[in-house]
Chains A and B, each alone.
Chain A
Amino acid sequence: MASSIDDQDDIEASLANNLVPVGPLSIIDIRSKSLEVKMAAQLIREWTGIQQFPAATQDKLLELLGKLKQENVGTLTILIMGKGGVGKSSTVNSLIGERVVAVSTFQSEGPRPVMVSRSRAGFTLNIIDTPGLIEGGYVNDQALEIIKRFLLNKTIDVLLYVDRLDAYRVDNLDRQVIKAITDSFGKGIWRRAAVILTHAQLSPPDALSYEEFFTKRTEALLKVVRLGARIKKHDSLGSSIPVVLVENSGRCNKNESDEKVLPNGIPWIPNLVKTIIDIVSNGSKAIFIDKKLIEGSNPNDRGKMWIPLIFAFQYFFVVKRIQRAIKEDIANENKPIWDR
């Protein structure tokens, strides 16, 4: 039990830090429940990080949040997912404006999702950072499982699927990640999703303009998303997924009002928040993660009501038929001459 006490302490410590880790798998059920209780009572920190942003960004953000408030949206929960090492945690930090999540640059992070909650003027922003979904060339089912359990009884307003802009190729792995996400939360989550491309500040390969490169990369990635999520070609869903560029690096170019800007001159933080808010108000439903969604519908209950019918069918069309065949066998039996 010593280890569990340690874990407990660990949780206490991380709670103090507003980080919500998840215990080892074996005790996850109990722990996540107790976490719910604690979460309710937990103080949601004031969003102080917002003050770090340049004034222009702050204004835009407040304006956007105000817009949300008008629509009676008091809480926004953002789920961030993606492969490992694409800059999920950095994006979280950039969005919050604090170093809330440890960014492990050179090693894969532990398989624990983290929720960061900040409130400002009665508005609560929850960002859930998740570990990378890929391990050893495969989708890490276990990590996915942990994420799902962590998300139990939460509502996901927006999914940010993070990938790098400077990755030139898409491969089967991307598709598998998308597929895993779709299988876990349903196709509907892509109505609530945006694709984030980090490392936006890059010099595209020769003979390609930045715009061209961006378009090509976006197209390739969206195609994979459509494939992985099994969205049909002509489904509006496929084309409606917005793509947002992000540059988390401190060396990011800045404009005159000290805002971080993309190579095309757009300040990206307000742009991202705007996209998020657009998604929230696009009329689609937020995804509530309940037990059914995680475990799928209980296959044991499916078709149960048909059992009497199936039974009757089996009796009349299978058993009776075989009985008839046996009778025919007896009639057709090739009896020796003495036995006729």
Chain B
Amino acid sequence: MGSLGVPAHLLSSSLAPSLRTRRNSSTRTTPAPSLSLSPAVITCRICPLNTQGLQCVQSKSNPKPSSVFIPFPKILGVYFAPALVFLVSGGVGCWINGGDVGGGHGGGGGGGGGDGGSWSRFFGFWSRFVCPMAIAKEEESQSQEWDSHGLPANIVVQLSKLSGFKKYKISEILFFDQRRRTTVGTEDSFFEMVSLRAGGIYTKTQLQKELETLATCGMFEKVDLEGKTNADGTIGITISFTESTWQSADRFRCINVGLMQQSNPIEMDPDMTDRERLELYRSQEKDYRRRMERARPCLLPMPVHLEVIKMLRDQGKVSARLLQKIRERVQKWYHDEGYACAQVVNFGNLNTKEVVCEVVEGDITQLSIQFQDKLGNVVEGNTQLPVVGRELPKQLRAGNIFNIEAGKQALRNINSLGLFSNIEVNPQPDEKNEGGIIVEIKLKELDQKSAEVSTEWSIVPGRQGRPTLASIQPGGTVSFEHRNLKGLNRSILGSVTTSNFFNPQDDLSFKFEYVHPYLDGVYDPRNRTFRASCFNSRKLSPVFTGGPGVDEVPPIWVDRSGIKANITENFTRQSKFTYGLVMEEITTRDESSHISAQGQRVLPSGGISADGPPTTLSGTGVDRMVFAQANITRDNTKFVNGAIVGERNVFQLDQGLGIGSNFPFFNRHQLTLTKFIQLNQVEEGAGKSPPPVLVIHGHYGGCVGDLPSYDAFTLGGPYSVRGYNMGELGAARNILEVAAELRIPVRNTHVYAFVEHGNDLGSSKDVKGNPTEVYRRVGHGSSYGVGIKLGLVRAEYAVDNNSGTGTVFFRFGERF
């Protein structure tokens, strides 16, 4: 338990899709600071202390792994350099086939002559691999001096006329659309394609490379780059281009070409006769048709299809810009849905009525789980693989499309096992299957055994209220844990706490527990856990509490110690069914720790008599009993922008078996119904405000048969009827509590108003000795009030209707 709080336990995972072309990346040394899709590392920091933290604690700057736009190469270059190196060496990332077309596809781009021309070159650009070294280099070059162009100002210079030895500083970059005869703005999608940036310093070679890239990407029929000298020695660059266009289309089709051999374009021999050329086209067309037939259908839903078709129809001619828009739309859908490895790799069938969009969706070909030691070496783990395997969503298994949400889910599920100090879920490109993804799960195991001692000194006021040497008490907790026995997540844990090690018999509290999950076998989907524990506890009985205006009632402590064995079946993360046996000894003690069989009462004369209500069933102050206990919880609550919405029903039953002192036979039951009603629909998303919520709560508790006072239901208190003290309203055999609370969001917290009522249903007299009446309690009461949530603390003002007075309370945690 204790070690959970150690910060070293923070988990990080790398889910890092990156793009890579099969082209030789060494030719692309140009730094590419404006990647619309770039290698990004998300680090899911998961704080194990807070289960809800799983969803919320995540690096804010990278909310979506694949849509990270890196506008500041400088900062990110530095910051991410190690991560990128890691990516390179670890090969983390999905790679995308940018097309094998070596640059000979000018035919396709060159005027759209080739019918059915494929357009794959295009993507080489986006999928350009970023070399971290290049970024580093750029850092250097930027810091260096640049050279003046040494030419008169305001003259236009062709790229070829620039000096190969100079480093030019670019003052501005303009795009000139030759077809439209206009300059396009920076918002144009073309602009993103150019890696040059105003203010950057480039050599002629770099500029030539850039031009080459643009020319070969398939988007332009013609592209040119020219410089214009400025007076201050810098040059402005104008990129003039003619966009590629194809004939108009009105159908759209999306196919998954993952795991398929990429089509190899055939070099066209310029010496071919027309007939040969025609034949080649035909065979290409045939091949392509076969390819389309073989391809699997896409996940892309109909609405997006229709959207794209509309785009096609509106546009008329299919242009490079349009294809880019389509590509963006399609990829956006994929990435929004978490298919981080999905990429549009090609548009085929151009110059026909139907545009075919080829997508590599990211098919998982393999799932591998490996264990690492502290140094990151692959080791044989202690944990049995099925233990991890059963936590993985089936979407991560081979044959599915990789989805980052499934990855996160796996991360959360594995983390909830509490066995690992570090968990990584990485999608890796499958070297043997093009477009395939290997999901690699890397786990670092926690130590199996851990022990912890925490100590504290408490200074107890001695005589005359002054602390003395003898009144300093050493206290603390000793706990140990042996987890993951046999690699099946079985564990033994124990803890002993005392506030005074010299006299531990005073308040020694202990707990030992054995947990045995996968009771039905680790392969059985049924999730039942067996627990056996040995415990003790000491609590102040709220039954022996005075009503309003009653002087201090001498308190009764209820000590319980015993053993418990139960089986918990988890249906969902929150809904579960627990049943088992409890064997316990209950001892009731007075203030001075003497066993007391009856509560005390204060006489009107001021004296104290010991003939109050009996504290135990046996009448001796010590009860022993065995009973069955069951609890079923149905909880379908979820968070809507941080507000809890849904329904929670709990039924708890203690069934006496007639075993124990005075043969206790009873049926003690409680039903709690809580409903969190969302009052209006809100848009979900981070930073959006939560909806107002109405909470309706009802709690019925009842007991038939033997009811010792320590098991009586008490009314009043922060979890019963607010505004009253614990047990201030009474202790009864049957109770009913109803409450309503209205929560209104205000800024990033909420205020609430509540009304509550608790009633003993006239059953106080059915508790032996009628403690409600003896301590002058009313047996029922209502309250209302308002409050505000401040972090974990609730500050509330509650008015109790019995006395009509209001009080301000500060409470931790939630009422419901």
Contact = CB atoms under 8 A, between A and B. Distances in A.
Given A299-B766, A338-B395, A322 B610 contact: no
B705 A300 contact: yes
B13 interface: no
Nearest to A303: B704
Nearest to A327: B571
A321 to B, nearest CB: 9
B430 interface: no
Interface string B751-768: 000000000000001111
Report which residue of A299, A329, A330, A339 has the largest number of chain B beta carbons within 10 angstroms of its beta carbon. A299
Contacts of A266: none
A296 interface: yes
Report which residue of B667, B706, B774 has the largest number of chain A beta carbons within 10 angstroms of its beta carbon. B667
B338 interface: yes
Nearest to A28: B611
A307 B665 contact: yes
B649 A325 contact: yes
B603 interface: yes
Interface residues of A, number: 35
Nearest to B337: A337
Contacts of B706: 300, 304
B645 to A, nearest CB: 12
Contacts of A135: 604
A303 B338 contact: no
Contact of B406 (A142, A311, A338): A338
B773 interface: yes
A314 interface: yes
Interface residues of B, number: 44
A322 B651 contact: yes
B596 to A, nearest CB: 13
Interface string A85-118: 0000000000000000000000000000000000
A215 B545 CA distance: 47
B632 A300 contact: no
Interface string A165-209: 000000000000000000000000000000000000000000000
Given A299-B707, A339-B393, A322 B632 contact: yes
Contacts of A306: 704
A60 B774 CA distance: 47
Given A25-B609, A299-B765, A304-B705, A318 B651 contact: yes
A136 B549 CA distance: 14
A264 interface: no
Contacts of B666: 300, 307
A167 B11 CA distance: 83
Nearest to A324: B634
A122 interface: no
Contacts of A300: 617, 666, 705-707, 768
Interface in A220-274: none
Interface string B338-370: 110000000000000000000000000000000
Given A25-B611, A311-B655, A336 B705 contact: no
B405 A336 contact: yes
Contacts of B767: 299
A136 B572 contact: no
A329 B655 contact: no
A326 interface: yes
Contacts of A339: 393, 395, 405-406, 409
Question: Main SS of the interface on chain A?
Answer: helix
B493 interface: no
Interface string A311-335: 1001000110011011101100100
Contacts of B773: 141
Nearest to B769: A295
Interface in B603-617: 603-604, 609-611, 617
A8 to B, nearest CB: 19
A307 to B, nearest CB: 5
Contact of B572 (A301, A322, A326): A326
A310 interface: yes
B326 interface: no
A130 B539 CA distance: 41
B438 to A, nearest CB: 18
Contacts of A319: 577, 630, 632, 651
Given A26-B611, A319-B630, A326-B575, A142 B651 contact: no
B636 interface: yes
Given A142-B603, A338-B403, A329 B337 contact: no
A292 interface: no
Interface in B307-325: none
Given A26-B609, A141-B773, A142-B604, A326 B705 contact: no
Contacts of B393: 339
B572 A329 contact: yes
A304 B658 CA distance: 11
A326 B651 CA distance: 13
Contacts of B667: 307, 310-311, 314
B765 A323 contact: no
B766 A304 contact: no
Contacts of A329: 572, 575, 634, 636
A104 to B, nearest CB: 17
Contacts of A298: 768
A25 B766 CA distance: 23
Contacts of B634: 322, 325-326, 329
Contact of A26 (B403, B572, B610, B766): B610
Contacts of A326: 571-572, 575, 634
Contacts of A327: 571
Interface string B20-49: 000000000000000000000000000000
A135 B604 CA distance: 9
B201 to A, nearest CB: 45
Contacts of A323: 571, 577, 632
Contacts of B632: 319, 322-323
Contacts of B733: 299
Given A25-B609, A303-B705, A336-B338, 10 more contacts: A304-B706, A307-B665, A322-B632, A322-B634, A323-B632, A325-B634, A333-B572, A336-B405, A338-B337, A339-B406
17 contacts: A141-B774, A142-B603, A300-B707, A307-B655, A307-B666, A307-B667, A310-B669, A314-B653, A314-B667, A323-B571, A323-B577, A325-B649, A333-B572, A336-B405, A338-B401, A339-B405, A339-B406
Interface of A: 25-26, 28, 135-136, 140-142, 296, 298-304, 306-307, 310-311, 314, 318-319, 322-323, 325-327, 329-330, 333, 336-339
**Which 8 A-B residue pairings sit nearest by Cβ, starting from the closest?**
A299-B766, A338-B403, A329-B636, A303-B704, A326-B575, A300-B706, A307-B667, A304-B705
Interface of B: 337-339, 393, 395, 401, 403, 405-406, 409, 571-572, 575, 577, 603-604, 609-611, 617, 630, 632, 634, 636, 649, 651, 653, 655, 665-667, 669, 671, 704-707, 733, 765-768, 773-774
